[in-house]
């Protein structure tokens, strides 16, 4: 081959259907490494390469795995402004955005929608789903998520008491609280806290107060942490032109305040974007 002779150190791939012809004599440097059990453990004859074991899968935990996955899914993109795709590690999320305040399709009541089929199989419909550590229910209420949070936090209070029992100082217990308890109570707090009930907020405050008594110092209330994070989230969206919700953060002609989002329900009014705009306007 002219390419092989001209570039002896280069990596060369040969793709094609060779009708099971062995190329060992004419191309001794090329290897076949793809094996498929469905063909009685025989190698495929459509692909040859100068690198041995070039087509084996990357081992679990390999540093190249994230890069190879990114290259593999690079062509999986959205071509419309109303649909956004977010890729995180080995997870891909498709988000449909409401344009022009037309949310009729999301507010239909009465008969349930038709089942969704993918490759001939019906997609299972569930009442709740855990997405990136946050439980989302079909009713858009956060009861299940807050119940899981409080249950996990109560379990970790036991370890905080054990640290006090073993004579760990206030600084060490505070560090444990921030890492193991507060991180649980405030995980994705900008999403669900605005629509939580008064009773649910009292449950969260009781956990903080209990931890404060165990440690022996005052801790930041959950509501203050929420206000700080929702303000920081609003600033990030406002400064990021590529964020899907950036268009919602429009500045009024005065240049001092942001235009409030028109809402029809209290759930929408207390959602992340509306509360973020309110926080920015009040600062």
Least confident piece of the model among 21-25, 113-117, 217-221, 239-243: 21-25
Choosing from 56, 75, 94, the residue where a domain stops is 75
Domain co-membership, 186 together with 256: no
Q: What's the pLDDT at 43?
A: 47
Q: Give pLDDT, residue 206.
A: 93
Q: Look at residues 75, 100, 128 and tell me which one is the last residue of a structural domain.
A: 75
Q: What percent of the chain has pLDDT over 70?
A: 70
Last residue of a domain, one of 220, 245, 262: 220
Strand, coil or helix: 256: coil
Q: Is residue 125 part of a domain?
A: no
Give the Cα separation of 87 and 77 in Å (integer).
Answer: 10
> 213 and 232 share a domain?
no
**What pLDDT is attached to residue 126?**
83
Q: How far apart are CA 17 and CA 22, in angstroms?
A: 12
> What's the pLDDT band for 146 if we cut at 50, 70, 90?
very high
Tokens at residue 11, please? 């990596």
User: According to the model, what pLDDT value does residue 158 have?
Assistant: 92
Residues 234 and 216 in one domain: no
Looking at the structure, tell me whether residues 11 and 59 fall in a common domain.
Answer: yes
Tens digits of residue pLDDT in 73-128: 777 777 777 677 777 666 777 777 666 666 565 555 555 567 777 778 888 888 88
How far, in Å, CA of 237 to CA of 209, rounded?
A: 33
Kindly state whether residues 183 and 234 are assigned to the same domain.
no
The more confident residue out of 175 and 265 is 175
Say which DSSP state 252 is in: P
Please choose, from the candidates 276, 248, 116, the residue with its C-alpha nearest in 3D space to the C-alpha of residue 191. 276
Q: Output the six-digit token pair for 63.
A: 């540093």
| 206 plus 147 within the same structural domain | yes
Cα–Cα distances in angstroms (integers) from residue 112 to residues 105, 109, 267, in the given order: 12, 8, 22
Confirm whether 1 is domain-assigned: yes
Number of domains in the chain: 3
Q: Say how many C-beta atoms besides its own lie within 10 A of residue 211's C-beta.
A: 23
Is 191 inside a domain boundary? yes
Q: Are residues 16 and 71 in the same domain?
A: yes
Q: Within the chain, what is the greatest distance between any pair of CA atoms? A: 80
Provide the phi-psi class of 13: left if phi over 0, else alpha when psi is between -120 and 50, else beta.
beta
117 within a domain of the structure (yes/no): no
| pLDDT reported for residue 231 | 93
2 and 67 belong to one structural domain = yes
Residues 19, 68 within the same domain: yes
User: Between 43 and 242, whose confidence is greater?
Assistant: 242
Same domain, 187 and 257: no
Domain that holds residue 216: 143-220
Residue 99 belongs to a domain = no
Asked if the structure places residue 91 within a domain, the reply is no
Report yes or no on 119 lying in a domain. Answer: no
Tell me how crowded residue 174 is: count the other CB atoms within 10 A of its CB.
19
232 and 169 within one domain: no
* Residue 15 forms part of a structural domain: yes
Apex CA 251: angle with CA 224 and CA 107, to 5°?
Answer: 75
Cα distances from 127 to residues 96, 114, 135, 139, 144, in angstroms, run: 20, 16, 10, 8, 10
Residue 97 structure tokens: 């955005």
248 and 204 in one domain? no
β-pair type (47-49, 13-15): antiparallel
Task: Tally helices (H) and strands (E) across the chain.
Answer: 10, 10
At 73, phi and psi to the nearest 5? -100, 15
pLDDT in tens, 178-211: 999 999 999 999 999 988 899 999 999 999 999 9
């Amino acid at each position: 081959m002219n390419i092989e002779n001209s570039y002896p150190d280069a990596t060369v791939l040969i793709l094609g259907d060779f009708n099971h012809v062995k190329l060992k004599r004419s191309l001794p440097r090329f290897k076949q490494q793809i094996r498929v059990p469905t063909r009685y453990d025989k190698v495929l004859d459509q692909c040859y390469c100068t690198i041995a074991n070039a087509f084996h899968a990357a081992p679990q935990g390999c540093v190249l795995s994230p890069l190879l996955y990114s290259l593999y899914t690079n062509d999986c993109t959205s071509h419309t402004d109303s649909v956004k795709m977010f890729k995180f590690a080995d997870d891909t999320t498709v988000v449909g955005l409401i344009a022009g305040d037309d949310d009729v399709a999301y507010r239909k009541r009465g008969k349930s929608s038709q089942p969704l089929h993918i490759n001939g199989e019906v997609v299972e419909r569930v009442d709740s789903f855990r997405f990136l550590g946050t439980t989302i229910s079909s009713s858009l209420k956060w009861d299940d998520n807050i119940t899981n949070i409080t249950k996990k936090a109560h379990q970790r209070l036991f370890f905080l008491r054990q640290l006090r029992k073993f004579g760990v100082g206030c600084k060490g217990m505070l560090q444990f609280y921030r890492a193991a308890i507060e991180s649980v109570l405030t995980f994705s707090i900008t999403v669900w806290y605005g629509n939580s009930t008064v009773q649910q907020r009292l449950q969260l405050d009781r956990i903080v107060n209990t931890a404060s008594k165990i440690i022996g110092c005052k801790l930041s209330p959950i509501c203050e942490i929420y206000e700080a994070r929702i303000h920081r989230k609003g600033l990030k969206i406002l400064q990021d032109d590529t964020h899907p919700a950036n268009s919602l953060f429009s500045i009024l002609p005065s240049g001092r305040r942001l235009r409030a989002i028109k809402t029809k329900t209290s759930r929408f009014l207390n959602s992340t974007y509306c509360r973020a705009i309110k926080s920015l306007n009040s600062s």
